[in-house]
Amino acid sequence: MKTFSAASLSSLSLGVLAMLGGCLEPMADRPSLARRDVELRDRQAEAKAPPPPIETIADPVLARDLTGMLARADKAEADFAIARSAAQQATAAARGNAMGSENWSVAQTRISALDTPRRELSQLLGDLEVLYVARLAKEAAGEVKPGGSAQIDQTRTHVLALVASQDAVINNLKAALAS
């Protein structure tokens, strides 16, 4: 049996008291763990909402860029819908099969195929971020008329909602395959 000295017990009790002292700090100094407004938004409803009208943009270069970006988003969403159908069918066929079985492997492959159109949307989102920041800088410097940044922001919101919707589909299929 091991015995402890009074000094080691004293340092242990001081260490415990120091740790407990951290628990007694006022909560007002810490960030809240409550859900933020952005986490409560309905991303699927935003994804189904139509993209912003391009005709209202006065800057023809910006209008062309956003039209091209929305076309890329439409193509990625259409590609995702085709891949989603195949993944849903494969996942349904794999239900109840053991991990590593033929049906499970096919379903896993089909779910992985969803990453390609989703990656296209993610890249598009990055391009929109770059365009948005550049437009804000130009508007602040007075190089272009204000207003185009709002159109870019609406397009970003639309594409972000599409990404969130696709993420939900992928997560649901993975969960269905795991059960």
117 neighbors 80 (Cβ within 8 angstroms) = yes
- Residue 101 confidence class, pLDDT cut points 50, 70, 90: confident
Reported confidence tier of residue 29, pLDDT bands at 50, 70, 90: low
CA distance 55 to 36: 34
Other CB atoms within 10 A of residue 174 CB: 17
Gap between the Cα atoms of 135 and 158, Å rounded: 18
List the structure tokens of 7.
Answer: 């000094």
> What does the pLDDT look like over 107-157, one tens digit per residue?
999 999 999 999 999 999 999 999 999 999 998 998 888 878 888 988 898
| Residue spans per domain, the chain | 42-178
Q: How far apart are CA 91 and CA 110, in angstroms?
A: 8
Return d(Cα 113, Cα 83) in angstroms, integer.
7
What distance in Å separates the CA atoms of residue 55 and residue 78, rounded to the nearest whole number?
23
* Residue 136 vs residue 44, higher pLDDT: 136
Higher pLDDT, 114 or 28: 114
Residue 145: per-residue pLDDT: 84
The pLDDT of 46-55, averaged and rounded, is 61
Examine the pLDDT at 2 and tell me if it is beyond 70. no
Q: Is the distance from CB of 86 to CB of 108 less than 8 angstroms?
A: no
| Single-letter amino acid, residue 74 | D
Q: How sure is the predictor about 166, in pLDDT bands with cuts at 50, 70 and 90? A: very high
